[in-house]
Structure 1
């Protein structure tokens, strides 16, 4: 006669810094028998999806936490009845008594199918939207690396619990060449908005294939717009003091240091000072966490000879004087023109500026350079008549004016922070010291 005892199944520790896990789904139902080593549930952390094997053979008696529950490491999630007699634990179960979850049956069916003859590649002719849009942290991290938007993720067929997207589904989709990348979604909900299936006359002309960099830029921009809710704040700055000082000293600066004095190092200097004043703008988002960066690395959007854009980075901009900034900026710009930027030159940006005024634009609405939370666009510096206050009263004078536009991620940057930061940058521009020595 065999005896049984119970085993407390607890949330396992998935890594040194992991303190909790999210139950994705159970592959074994209450009352079902299983063998030691069988996968009985899946758990997601902020770093990886994990399959949890059964530590013993037996029967699942009670499940304490259901799918999507977040459970601290070490807390009991289920109770297992352990049979000391291995024959009892491994005994065959009649079909009528089988209570193995449908997901486990499907996994077994898929495994048997994979062991047989290779099947044809999946068809991606339609772009149906999955009903289950719960994505695990691992899926989101892979999507970030591959520049896949949430809209595109929702079109990928999922084979997990309740249609959940699994890591294997995502890699299988990538192997097929991302057929849903530019397709339109087909909504299942009859009340949902449907994108009209219009036939456009795209005209005839020269066909130019996107190069790899242009495709990467397109993916990155689409991903950013779908990931971060963009809000743009605008201010205007009187650049007269800075413009006059630069015009007066640029020749002496070049003679003294051997470096051209453009506006860019002056912009970087002011932006770095404002970032120090508002450190929360110098951040990135990791799931439900906000990472406030220690270093202030200013990326500067730069056009390549091909017309594509790239973002070389001025590292530790807040620690450099104007001479060092000018040297750094000029070197990066020269490398960009000659297509000689190294990998380290474009890594580590924590905040980006885009000088759209270089192309004659009055202002711009820039797209955030992920994973940052804000980007500043600087418009053209244009002379015009302005009303200014003087000791004798208001007067009309010719001033050099510029618009600044800050796009920020409204998940973590509110209007107060975004507006205060861009205003502070404008203040530093306007309060430029005209008595400054080179």
Structure 2
């Protein structure tokens, strides 16, 4: 199992693309591996033959474990790579014949006996089973945890987060058929039409959104900001900026810059809830909701945004957007965000009410920048002028963020955008 990011310790086998006994060419994709939201393809280092799969689809495998035995071409064998030698030593005995290695224990499936369980057919891997035994978590309790893995699989991170939340389902009672509330089985007419099966990422997005909406009491605050000075400056300098730094100057790094400054002034917004404790994050890592070619959304992360200048922010955002469009994002690219921005204006929306990207405390939506006639107060009297206006909306978790903090933070972002220095050098 290759290492697919600094913080990645395991991966889930999605699908074997080369079966046992099949040959392959250099660069052919052997297996698809999932790490959180990002799917990774593992290419063949050279031409060869697939001898044996050591793990199966849906198995969760630690980084560094053997997942398959390959017979590579003479070209690679003669190169004397350590990987080939190590694999040969592990898979052959003194006589040179292939040993029969012990099979990996198959994951088990358990069915919840609860009438209101979240997942009645939860898939429990050996790793999750081991964690459950260590913390004395029953299978019924596991069945109530919302899995974020492939086909609703419970991942290690799901169990870790559940434990951090104080095990809210620990004392949940079984609801009998004759007692207690049951979700009514309403027979809606869903109509007829083309059936489009949700892909793995769309299912995960769905699970995350439902979890966030039902866990955090969402409140949304709105302000509007006059971006005329910023728009004028950006239009006047974008060509020179690209010539000087070979980077496009979009509005995204300018928004991230303003948000990072506001977070430093209101650090409590940069937090997460851990049971009854609030964790105020040391780092300011800004996630930016980005569309993939499939139409799904993913949130790559600009790390330490408060410590980057505009050139560095432009480099980071452009690189992440490019990798997202080309499906080249790695696991580490989407981890560790502490606050998220969703630019709904990209799609022409005036404003939005975004759902919080758990486990963060808030998320900002920036609407379309639109020219409007505005009354401007001048020393010599009021005037009507054409201004570039934008709505900003902040959805926040009312468990840990009150209206005063949210309103003050949102207003501060708008202030930074409105007070943009139009004489700023690039």
Same fold per TM (> 0.5)?
A: yes
Counterpart check, 1:346 vs 2:334: yes
Deviation at 1:226, TM superposition (A): 1.2
Q: Secondary structure at the match of 1:380?
A: coil
* Contact 1:261–1:326 (CA under 8 A) maintained in structure 2: yes
Corresponding residue of 1:386: 374
Deviation at 1:168, TM superposition (A): 2.6
Corresponding residue of 2:361: 373
Q: Which stretch of structure 1 is more off in the superposition, 352-361 or 388-397? A: 388-397
Corresponding residue of 2:224: 236
Change (3 A) 1:173 1:362: closer
Q: In 1, distance between residues paired with 2:253 and 2:311?
A: 9
Q: Secondary structure at the match of 1:433?
A: coil
CA shift digits 1:6-56 (9 cap, x unpaired): xxxxxxxxxxxxxxxxxxxxxxxxxxxxxxxxxxxxxxxxxxxxxxxxxxx
CA shift digits 1:360-410 (9 cap, x unpaired): 000000000001000000000010100011121111100111000000000
Q: How does 1:270-285 map to 2 (within 5 A)?
A: 270-285=258-273
CA shift digits 1:406-426 (9 cap, x unpaired): 000000000000000000000
Counterpart check, 1:202 vs 2:214: no
Q: When the two structures are aligned, how many residues end up with a matched partner?
A: 281
Which of the two has higher C-alpha Rg?
1
Q: Secondary structure at the match of 2:204?
A: helix
Counterpart check, 1:355 vs 2:343: yes
Q: Secondary structure at the match of 1:296?
A: coil
Gaps of 5+ in 2: 1-108, 119-123, 129-135, 154-173
Counterpart check, 1:168 vs 2:156: no
Deviation at 1:198, TM superposition (A): 3.0
Q: Say what the alpha-carbon RMSD is for the aligned residues.
A: 3.0
Q: In 1, distance between residues paired with 2:348 and 2:212?
A: 25
Corresponding residue of 1:214: 202
Q: In 1, distance between residues paired with 2:152 and 2:201?
A: 17
Counterpart check, 1:319 vs 2:290: no
* Contact 1:128–1:188 (CA under 8 A) maintained in structure 2: no
Q: How does 1:106-255 map to 2 (within 5 A)?
A: 122=111, 127-128=115-116, 166-171=137-142, 197-255=185-243
Q: In 1, distance between residues paired with 2:186 and 2:273?
A: 37
Deviation at 1:203, TM superposition (A): 1.4
Q: In 2, distance between residues paired with 1:317 and 1:359?
A: 25
Aligned partner of 1:364 among 344, 348, 352: 352
Gaps of 5+ in 1: 1-119, 131-141, 147-164, 180-185
Change (3 A) 1:315 1:169: same
Q: In 2, distance between residues paired with 1:284 and 1:123?
A: 30
Q: Secondary structure at the match of 1:249?
A: helix
* Contact 1:129–1:187 (CA under 8 A) maintained in structure 2: no
* Contact 2:112–2:140 (CA under 8 A) maintained in structure 1: no
Q: In 1, distance between residues paired with 2:116 and 2:405?
A: 39
CA shift digits 1:207-227 (9 cap, x unpaired): 111111011111111111111
Q: Secondary structure at the match of 2:140?
A: helix
* Contact 2:284–2:339 (CA under 8 A) maintained in structure 1: yes
TM (norm. structure 2) is 0.61
Q: In 2, distance between residues paired with 1:123 and 1:353?
A: 38
TM (norm. structure 1) is 0.60
Q: In 2, distance between residues paired with 1:413 and 1:173?
A: 27
Deviation at 1:121, TM superposition (A): 6.9
Corresponding residue of 1:423: 411
CA shift digits 1:262-319 (9 cap, x unpaired): 0000000000000000000000111011000000000000000000000000000000
